[in-house]
């Protein structure tokens, strides 16, 4: 009788383990299937929400064409006498119009700004995807160097949150004068492990890599990292990890607030001071040549 009871117990336990195992695999497969919806949020809160003609910004609507033919919308915002041009890549929600205050801050700091709208976001055509976003960044770069005639050494690749991966990839594959990353993360795998701690292996299931650290190593260009201690979306520790892995020269601005994207609106004085110090440090330095043509392409 005891042997029979033990056998039934083991069978029951095995059944429970198999059920949990099947549920675990199903969750991983669901994450893989829904990855585009998990990673990209062009319709939150609304794809076209916001003021597209914000007061006080001398913006020009420009249209770019990525190398795969996708038509992209961007804002060109010149600043009188500017010596640096920031090509700005925003976070994974909303659109350019909702970043108008950030662009205004950069403009008032004396920086030209090209705000790029990713494919599938705002007024741009297409659908978002990691490789596609990198093509969007290269189209913006080609516009600055070609149409606007801006020297590579005057271009600063500026990315916030998701945009930090785009900014890093651009620097790894094109010559730029510097990189500014706000609320960055080392890789998509690192973020997945934070978001889905109950799903070990989630970072290995997702297709997106967004390997910021590897791209910065390939970029070999001056870096400024900005991160709030109480960032509610990307933990401060992830920004520290990006900074620790990046090669010199580099600077880190630690802010005490609880802001995510748009730290300049939380602490404008501190950000402006650090931004201008970083930009002054770029004066007279040639744009760094990326490590190799393929070095930043870690997908």
Report if residue 71 sits inside a domain: yes
Residue 240: Cβ-neighbour burial (10 angstroms; 0-12, 13-18, 19+): middle
Q: Do 225 and 80 share a structural domain? A: yes
Residue 191: Cβ-neighbour burial (10 angstroms; 0-12, 13-18, 19+): buried
Instruction: Please determine, for residue 101, whether its predicted confidence score (pLDDT) is greater than 90.
Output: yes
Q: Do 181 and 71 share a structural domain? A: yes
For 56-65, 150-159, 187-196, which range has the lowest pLDDT when averaged over its residues?
187-196
Nearest to 144 by CA among 95, 82, 217: 82
Q: CB-based contacts of 37: which residues, under 8 Å, 6+ apart?
A: none
Q: Do 2 and 76 share a structural domain? A: no
Mean pLDDT of the chain: 87
pTM for this model (two decimals): 0.87
Q: Do 13 and 105 share a structural domain? A: no
The C-alpha R_g of the chain, in whole angstroms, comes to 22
Q: Does residue 158 contact residue 165 with C-beta atoms inside 8 Å?
A: no
pLDDT of residue 59: 96
Q: Do 109 and 27 share a structural domain? A: no
Helix H or strand E encompassing 53: none
pLDDT of residue 283: 80
Question: Cβ–Cβ contacts within 10 Å for residue 118, how many?
Answer: 28
Report if residue 294 sits inside a domain: no
The residue range of the domain holding 5 is: 1-33
* Total number of domains in the chain: 2
DSSP letter (8 states) at residue 153: G
Q: Do 220 and 99 share a structural domain? A: yes
The torsion angles phi and psi of 38, rounded to 5 degrees, stand at -75, -40
Nearest to 174 by CA among 293, 282, 64: 293
Instruction: Please determine, for residue 50, whether its predicted confidence score (pLDDT) is greater than 60.
Output: yes
pLDDT digits (tens, 9 = 90+) for 1-44: 557 767 776 777 766 766 665 665 555 555 555 566 667 889 98
pLDDT digits (tens, 9 = 90+) for 267-299: 999 999 999 999 999 986 677 678 644 334 433
């Amino acid at each position: 009788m005891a042997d029979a009871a033990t056998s039934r117990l083991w069978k029951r336990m095995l059944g429970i383990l198999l059920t949990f195992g099947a549920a675990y695999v199903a969750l991983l497969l669901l994450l893989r299937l829904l990855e585009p919806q998990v990673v990209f949020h062009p319709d939150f809160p609304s794809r076209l929400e916001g003021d597209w003609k914000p007061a006080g910004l001398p913006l020009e609507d420009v249209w770019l064409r990525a190398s795969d033919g996708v038509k992209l919308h961007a804002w060109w915002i010149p600043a009188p006498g500017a010596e640096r041009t920031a090509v700005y890549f925003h976070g994974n929600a909303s659109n350019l119009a909702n970043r108008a205050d950030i662009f205004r801050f950069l403009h008032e700091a004396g920086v030209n700004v090209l705000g790029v709208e990713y494919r599938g976001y705002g007024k741009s055509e297409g659908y978002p995807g990691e490789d596609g976003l990198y093509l969007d960044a290269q189209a913006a770069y080609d516009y600055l160097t070609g149409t606007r005639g801006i020297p590579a050494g005057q271009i600063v690749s500026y990315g916030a949150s998701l945009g930090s991966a785009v900014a890093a990839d651009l620097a790894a594959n094109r010559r730029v004068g510097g990189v500014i990353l706000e609320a960055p993360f080392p890789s998509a795998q690192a973020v997945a492990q934070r978001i889905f701690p109950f799903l070990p292996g989630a970072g290995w299931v997702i297709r997106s890599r967004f390997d910021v650290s590897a791209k910065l190593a390939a970029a070999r260009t001056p870096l400024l990292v900005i991160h709030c201690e109480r960032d509610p979306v990307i933990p401060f520790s992830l920004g520290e990890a990006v900074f620790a892995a990046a090669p010199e020269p580099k600077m880190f601005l630690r802010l005490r607030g609880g802001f995510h994207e748009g730290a300049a609106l939380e602490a404008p004085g501190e950000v402006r001071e650090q931004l201008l110090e970083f930009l002054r440090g770029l004066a007279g330095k040639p744009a760094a040549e990326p490590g190799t043509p393929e070095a930043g392409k870690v997908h």
